[in-house]
Amino acid sequence: MIIDSNQDGAQAGLPAVASGACRVPEPGAVEAEFPGPQGTLVQHRWVEAAVAVRFEQLAPVAAFPMVPGRRWGPGWWWSATAGRHVMHGSQAMCMQLMILDRDPQVVSLSARPVRLIWRDPDNRRTLTWVPQLFARYADGGALLADCPATAEPAAGRA
């Protein structure tokens, strides 16, 4: 799933949430949780955080899990664009990092810098989504990208 701020998601055919998982939340109903200055998690409305926070400079809000028996685990990609290592959790994510790293319009990359939180009004569950990649474009636009193992956002919080 990719949500690109340079495009209108509805016009591009990109749902904010995988179809069938839950209703798309109202724009002002989504909260963003991210590491603050002292490393503690801070929570703000997404519409405010999206324009004020430099997500490309933040540490991950959640680690990539090590799954026993898998042939591939979390790793690091040296990003020439970011000038540092960027963590990845799968081969698909590593490939996305490589492609974004070669894009001349991308000026910075980070992994899992924000957790999006909202309530599903139909059944009152709290849903979360931690996008795996964040890319900042030269024009100030941003991209959130994911390589989900499941089409549904996580219910509750860990």
First and final CA of the chain: distance in angstroms?
22
Q: What is the pTM of this model?
A: 0.72
pLDDT tens track of the chain, all 158 residues? Answer: 444 444 333 333 333 444 445 566 776 789 999 998 887 899 999 989 988 999 998 888 988 777 788 777 788 888 888 888 888 888 788 888 899 999 999 999 999 999 999 988 777 788 888 888 999 999 999 998 886 555 565 555 43
CA atoms within 13 A on the CB side of 153: 27
pLDDT value of position 123: 73
Residue 128's nearest CA partner among 146, 120, 116, 137 is 116
